[in-house]
Structure 1
């Protein structure tokens, strides 16, 4: 079954509505991150797209490992399991500002939606090579949906 399309304004607006239900006091149903850390964690996906210079590109061997073993998990329609291991760039241990991270995430989601599917079709990803628009959608949607569900919204 296809995931909801994050490039569709109605779907992205629903995600933003869910984000806006979060408060600095929101508690996770599982996992170790607080709500601000979760928002920062989700922002990494979008920062890879729009701020790749902020990150170290994987070397040849790591790129091969990511494409061969991680890509399918990230871009498929299969939901993430709870407490799934994540990549080093996605581990947020320091305290973050809730409002800043929330506003950044909403801006990223709106930007992706406004740029549309055509912009992402066969676009090079930071870790997985070229992805189809469907793969980009799956990566964006299922990650944010997983973590919003983690926080009960």
Structure 2
């Protein structure tokens, strides 16, 4: 079965990996530090469940080809893949580790328990439940691997 945030065992696995994160975790690639990455995941996931309203940055190409590539062809997101502008976290701001960890765990729980039929993504546009569940899993997995979790 495809990994999805709506699969209970996948949700538990991602949740456990977040709980294991420590402030000393070092990134393997990218520019964000650990706390910024957690804020990034909170905003990205929260936008899909309408906790945050983000600007539509999609194009026909991103809603069709890019979405197909990410969801159907790639098994993992590539390192240093560009994020929608609205998902980017300012790398010069200081954030609190404990607060951001609590926020990302909360948004993960909200995503897991969400029951929407349509989820919104700034680059991929409207996504059905299966698409969005897969994308959320891959996004979390990508960034948790980025920090060795």
**Shared fold (TM-score greater than 0.5)?**
yes
Aligned match of 2:66: 70
Match of 1:142 among 116, 138, 146: 138
Residue 116 of structure 2 is aligned to residue 125 of structure 1: no
Structure 1 length-normalised TM: 0.81
Q: Tell me how far 1:99 sits from its aligned partner.
A: 1.5
Report matched runs for 1:52-91 at 5 Å. Answer: 52-53=52-53, 55-58=54-57, 62-76=58-72, 78=74, 79-91=76-88
| Larger relative helix fraction | 1
**2:68, 2:52 → 1: CA distance?**
21
How far off is 1:124 after superposition?
4.1
Question: Where in structure 1 do 4 or more consecutive aligned residues deviate above 6 Å?
Answer: none
Residues 124 and 4 from structure 1, CA distance in 2 versus in 1: closer, same or farther, beyond 3 angstroms? closer
How many residues were matched structurally?
A: 144
Which TM-score applies when normalising by structure 2? Answer: 0.83
* Rounded Cα–Cα distance in structure 1 between residues aligned with 2:87 and 2:112: 22
Relative distance call for 1:114 and 1:47 in structure 2 (3 A) is closer
Per-residue deviation, residues 88-112 of structure 1 (Å, max 9, x unmatched): 1122122222222211111111122
Q: d(CA) in 2 for partners of 1:103 and 1:35?
A: 13
Classify the secondary structure of the residue corresponding to 1:4: coil
After superposition, the CA RMSD in angstroms is: 2.0
Q: Which residue of 1 aligns with 2:11?
A: 12
C-alpha separation in 2, matches of 1:130 and 1:45? 14
- Residue in structure 2 matched with residue 112 of structure 1 by the alignment: 111
Counterpart Cα distance in 1 of 2:45 and 2:67: 16
